[in-house]
Chains A and B, each alone.
Chain A
């Protein structure tokens, strides 16, 4: 089914970047916000024939304080945990209306977007339901690895060892005591046609994945790395740098799952040590050598498992030594 949908798929190139903007300037995101950067790219890739359902969260708050809105495409916010269900309703409603001749037949991309809390925790039921029912929509999880909008509380997507306001390091704790929940794998387990991870540091990769997700019929799930300088205690100008490091350390590998087939879209030739990634962020400042080693081993193990799942033939190699673009 993928082959048919993507037969004429044209990738964006540096020269053919779309000019459309679904999100206007002047929103209220923090300085250096990597999440709104990732969102803007994903939306640009999907064009203006879209309808967006948003969960409660940073992106919802910074774009819609009435009477202002940053949205130049139709957008709805209902609550925190239900964006996949709202998108289901939009898709079902339009389908019925088109069938009944009350709406012109056309394919509009229905997008549901939420943060990691709205996806991995409180929204996972609605997400699972919508994926399982097979609605034609794109779900974008903008993963900034904690509840940033409510004041940096831990979520199940917060990485091991990270300091948040509800996983504080102390005499008896190293901070977050659990390992990051693998939501893309959970999404893929629904047998949906398309799952991908993406990062704003690899903007063409991100945009092409978003375009693919919109092109494919049926549910598509995009898990997008979304650095949060405010919550991560990271210098605001380093959002893109940290995004690239997350990929180059194999902490956040880029891959697709197409009809159940794992494909690495970026293969890191000589991965950098995780310490380089961790040391730039205040949320990991308290970690000792032993914990960093533990994280390194876990990352290596998880990456190896991913490699085994993936068909490496498709991957484009990247050397960590090449000059930064």
Chain B
């Protein structure tokens, strides 16, 4: 039986990477740094993890080195946060096109302007269309489990795509939680050694990353799109097998008390636990309120989402990032487009909250729900609103 220990979530990330017997870690301590790579370098220094730790000079090089390592046939990992992810941006898009199954954990934090080290989702939303599989964890245990799952899915011969596991900076990365840590031998039942399909080998030379002339670029992009969409069945299958082996089951979308719910809050990440408390309180008061959250963000679980909203009158979507000039947050915009043409179309109200480390409290969730109920009754509300802006 795996042991349950109190451990900082960042350290649990390192333990998961260690249990996955990763071969190469390339990382850079951009501010805001987490303890992930510090602990990984400790595990390597102590001989507990047999891997090459490449202390690169930037995040841009971290992703580049991970690509090189994966192309050489090695299981590779990196972790980063907002400014580091932004610096990596160019290379993040190249990893899926080279079909390099890298796993990256992002402690989600605000992008600069003004500089902020605190939690929101603006970093990952800027990488929304990068072609990676993207999941969001709600708590430490889920972070650990999603990392093991990420390697399994990434390296599946039907997928061969990199995976991002998102966890909230500070509110998850720096807190101590009780987590069941699977050992390397327990993980080995689920995750076999990486068998690359294409590898840089002098015996069988291949050319990787050639020039995509206009005659083939569209087709290359189409393939990237179809393999990402097609990965969903592998993702779901891998979660089912995870549940069989370890007893914890995961789905692309989680719902909480949505039965007979008039208004359903939609969230992502750790704030979901606060939203649960808010839902419980409102239910106690007799309000018909539920909660839904995306665990799988890319590929977007369209069918699951459309099924999940059946019978729901209104959605209150909580975004933790602004999509500047788009009149709404990225999650809300996606939700609206996913409902267009759907058989059942609840009303959608967008709330942007919890930017740059500002808390979203139980009371704030209650207020958003109340507003959504009011707007739903009227049949209209504002396009979106920024919650809790201080007047002075």
Contacts and interface: CB of A to CB of B under 8 A. Distances in A.
B76 to A, nearest CB: 7
B24 A96 contact: yes
Given A85-B64, A88-B56, A72 B200 contact: no
A100 interface: yes
Contacts of A48: 202
A151 interface: no
B52 A92 contact: yes
Contact of B67 (A67, A73, A86, A97): A86
Contacts of A320: none
Contacts of A82: 60-61, 64, 91
B209 A69 contact: no
Interface string B104-127: 000000000000000000000000
B202 A97 contact: no
B212 A97 contact: no
- Could you say which of B58, B62, B200, B206 has the most chain A C-beta atoms within 10 Å of its C-beta? B200
A76 B209 contact: yes
A298 interface: no
A18 interface: no
A71 interface: yes
A69 B210 contact: yes
B326 interface: no
Contacts of A86: 64-65, 67-68, 71
Contacts of B265: none
A64 B210 contact: yes
B202 A51 contact: yes
Contact of B213 (A65, A79, A87, A128): A65
A203 to B, nearest CB: 24
A133 interface: yes
A71 B205 contact: yes
A64 B211 CA distance: 6
B61 A85 contact: yes
Interface residues of B, number: 45
Contacts of B54: 88-89, 92, 133
Interface string A51-81: 1010000001100111101011111111101
A93 B76 contact: yes
B69 interface: yes
B350 interface: no
B73 A76 contact: no
Contacts of B85: none
A94 B52 CA distance: 10
A87 B90 CA distance: 17
B205 A74 contact: yes
B387 interface: no
Given A82-B91, A89-B26, A97 B50 contact: no
Interface string B206-222: 11111111001000000
B19 to A, nearest CB: 15
Contacts of A96: 23-24, 50-52, 69, 74
A99 B91 contact: no
Given A74-B202, A133-B54, A85 B68 contact: yes
Given A89-B69, A99-B50, 12 more contacts: A53-B68, A61-B211, A64-B211, A73-B202, A76-B208, A82-B60, A85-B68, A88-B26, A88-B61, A89-B54, A89-B64, A92-B69
25 contacts: A64-B211, A66-B212, A66-B213, A74-B200, A74-B207, A77-B210, A82-B60, A85-B60, A85-B62, A85-B64, A88-B61, A89-B64, A89-B67, A89-B70, A90-B68, A90-B200, A92-B69, A93-B74, A94-B73, A94-B74, A97-B74, A126-B57, A126-B61, A129-B58, A129-B61
